[in-house]
Structures are given as C-alpha cells and as structure tokens.
Amino acid sequence: MRTLMQTWLERQQQQKTTIFCRLVETHGSTPQKAGAGMLIFPEGGQFGTLGGGCVEAEVQSKALQLQPGQPPEILSFSLNHDYGWDDGLICGGVMKILLDPGGTSDANRYFSTQARLLAEGTGFTEVCITNEQEAGSDSQNRFLVLENGRLEAIRFDRPVDIKPELDFNLETVEKLRAALRPLSERPRPYHQEGFAFLPSLPRCRLIIIGAGHIGQAVAGWATELDFEVWVVDDRASYCSEERFPKIEKLVVGPFEEILPQLPIDQSTYCLIVTRGHNHDEEALFHLIQQNACYLGMIGSKRKIRLIFDDLRGEGITDEQLERVHAPVGLEIGSQTVPEIAISILAEIVAHRNCQGKIPGKSLSSLER
C-alpha cells in the first residue's frame, strides 16, 4: 500500500488524474482480501491489483466513467456465474470495491495524509462507511484514525460546504472508535456495524548487525516484508549502498561505540549475524542490555553455549539470556544463504504477527 500511495502522490504532483480503487469489504471466498488497492490511469494502465479477472475489468470500466470531483462510489460484486466463469473466479463470495476519482481539496488532503502516514510507518486504520443505516450515518465518508483514536483526515463523499469537523455525525465517529481494534494486536481487515476497518500496521525497525552474505540476504527480503531496515558493520566496504540499495540506514563503525547508542525500543527487532564468534559475543553483550522486542543470534548450539558462558562472567543474567532467540530461525533444513535468510525472517515475521509467540518453537536458549 505504501508504494501505491507513493505512486498516487507522484501523479498528483504531476497533475495527472488518478482513480483510486480499494477492496474495502469481502464476504466468503474471494480472489483478493480486503485492503487490496489499485490505481487506474485515464490515459491507460494501472498500478496494483484487485484480483484480476472480469471483476477488475468492470472496475476499470466504471472507474474511467468517473470525472475528477465526482463523489466516490462503492460497487458490490457477487462472484457467481455472472463473474469469472471463463477466468475461474466463481468463488461464491462478495466484494465491495471503493472507487474514488479525487479532484477535490479534501480528497487531496486525505490521500496526501495517507501517503505520509504510510511513508513514516505510523500505524493507523482507514475506516470506510459501507452501510449508512448500520453505521448511523447519512453518508459514506472515510476516516484515517490513529492508534489513540484521533481523526487524522476525513474524505467526504460530497462537497464540503461547512466546517469539516461539523460535517459528520459525532455519534457515528464514537461508534467507529469503539469498534477499533488495537494495532498492537496486528488485526486483519474486518467489518462491523456498517464500517469497514482497514488497518495499516506500524512499521517495525529491524537492525541487522553484520553486513556479510546472510545479513545482505536478510535485509533484501526484510524490506519487502515492510520492515524499516538498518545495517551495522565495522567494514565500510561491506556496509555500502551498492550492497544494500533499498534499506533505510547504514551505520559503519566500531561495534563497541555504535551499538550502545542505537535507538532501540519495544518495537525494534535486532539480529546478530556478524562474521565471527567474538563479534557476535560483543554485539550480544551490548544489545542484551537494551529493550528490543526481539533479539536473535545466528550460530551453532555449541557456539551459543560458549558465548552465554562468557556473558555470565560479564554479569549478564540467565533471565536476560532467556530472551535471546538462538540459534535464530525456524527449522526448515536450511543449507544455502537464501534458505537461511528465509528461515530467519520466517521466525521474525511470526514473532511480529503472533504477538511475540513463534508457532512450533520454544524460546529457551539456555536448553540448547
């Protein structure tokens, strides 16, 4: 969604008309789930997908009939014999798809705010009114709601002639706030009481200590998994833009100077994959005393036991060591560097998406 909105913003700056389409609600089996988005360009082409097939083709046809400044529309598609016999899309479900041609000042503010929040990695929920009667509203407005319940932006479904803060039912707003699920629980899109809730989860930072082959492979995939990736190493020749073109930040320097100063909090993931035993131990000594939500280290069971014994001698407690995920990664029989990277990221994503629990794996590093 972040790249989708970046594309919208670029076209807006070029003064090019763009129709924004989003799958806001689904029922039953559908080729795409709520949250999927697509941009349609009147001059031809699109960015993103709503699942393909003839539903997407009809959405494109409808979208191209809309003119900038017209109100948004919500289309409903039942995936029966009318849709997808030739494309194999007879799923039996229902898709509700929003079409927004933009072209108004509040639309521009809304989409620009959405693009900014996504670029910053700030968590928020987009709330769409899909059933006015159930929601207690007389419109199909949309809202960007922050974790604390603050309305960051409103997209009105008609021209706004009065102050925006007075142009919607406050009882409706309180009702949608009451139905918001905490982003800390990483909710999937859901619908309730006439509202469709489309969470954009906060982006977590992943700090990779070690810019070798495994660090490079993990960093490449982690950016695609919506992590803000930092890489730390004491070798400028390895920790370079050429080897890490897509990550957020490169930090080069001695580990003992850099690691104690890193901005680490309860949403930060740390991974130790340096080039050797001594550097791994040094990195773990500094990072274990900070408050990362996840701390993983690569290595054999024997190496980990030796490092843990050394750290006990430095005053690190068993309680602190118990928090370390080592050996890091899910057991998938990894042999190659890409397989090892996938194993590591599978564990990290499971930790992120399952509230700290990793299915099929116990945490205790002390027993390994």
Pairwise CA distance, residues 9 & 167, whole Å: 26
Total domain count, the chain: 2
**Domain check: are 245 and 323 in the same one?**
yes
**Domain check: are 298 and 338 in the same one?**
yes
Tell which of 200, 234, 256 closes a domain: 200
Residue partners of 309: CB distance under 8 A and separation at least 6: none
**Domain check: are 176 and 88 in the same one?**
yes
Shortest CA distance to 67 belongs to which of 13, 18, 119? 18
Dig out the tokens for 94 from the structure: 């229902």
Are the beta carbons of 320 and 288 closer than 8 angstroms? yes
CB atoms within 10 A of CB 223: 16
Pairwise CA distance, residues 37 & 47, whole Å: 9
**Domain check: are 191 and 252 in the same one?**
no
pLDDT of residue 88: 47
Tell which of 200, 220, 249 closes a domain: 200
**Domain check: are 312 and 178 in the same one?**
no
- CA quadruple 19, 187, 173, 166: dihedral sign: negative
Structural domain containing residue 111: 2-200
Whether 180 maps to a domain, the answer reads yes
b vs e for 15-33, b when ≥16 Cβ sit within 10 Å of the residue's Cβ? eebbbbbbbbbbeeebbbe
**Domain check: are 245 and 189 in the same one?**
no
Q: DSSP readout, 95-112?
A: EEEEEE---SHHHHHHHH
Pairwise CA distance, residues 37 & 51, whole Å: 10
CA angle 146-148-152, nearest 5°?
A: 35
pLDDT of residue 368: 46
Whether 348 maps to a domain, the answer reads yes
**Domain check: are 131 and 150 in the same one?**
yes
Regarding pTM above 0.95, the answer is no
Task: Say if residue 152 is exposed, middle or buried (CB neighbours under 10 Å; 0-12, 13-18, 19+).
Answer: middle
Shortest CA distance to 337 belongs to which of 207, 219, 208? 219
Whether 67 maps to a domain, the answer reads yes
What angle do helix axes 213-224 and 337-353 make, rounded to 10 degrees?
40
Residue partners of 260: CB distance under 8 A and separation at least 6: 286
SS3 assignment, position 358: coil
Whether 359 maps to a domain, the answer reads no
Give the count of alpha carbons within 13 A of 285, CB side only: 18
**Domain check: are 185 and 295 in the same one?**
no
Shortest CA distance to 240 belongs to which of 211, 213, 267? 211
pLDDT of residue 94: 85
Strand order in the sheet with 46-48: 46-48, 37-40, 19-27, 94-100, 73-78
**Domain check: are 285 and 327 in the same one?**
yes
Whether 86 maps to a domain, the answer reads yes
**Domain check: are 89 and 155 in the same one?**
yes
Whether 128 maps to a domain, the answer reads yes
With a cut of 50, list the residues of the chain below it in pLDDT.
Answer: 84-88, 162-166, 368
**Domain check: are 6 and 80 in the same one?**
yes
Dig out the tokens for 46 from the structure: 């699109």
Whether 362 maps to a domain, the answer reads no
**Domain check: are 183 and 231 in the same one?**
no
CATH of the domain at 235: 3.40.50.720
Whether 368 maps to a domain, the answer reads no
Tell which of 148, 168, 200 closes a domain: 200
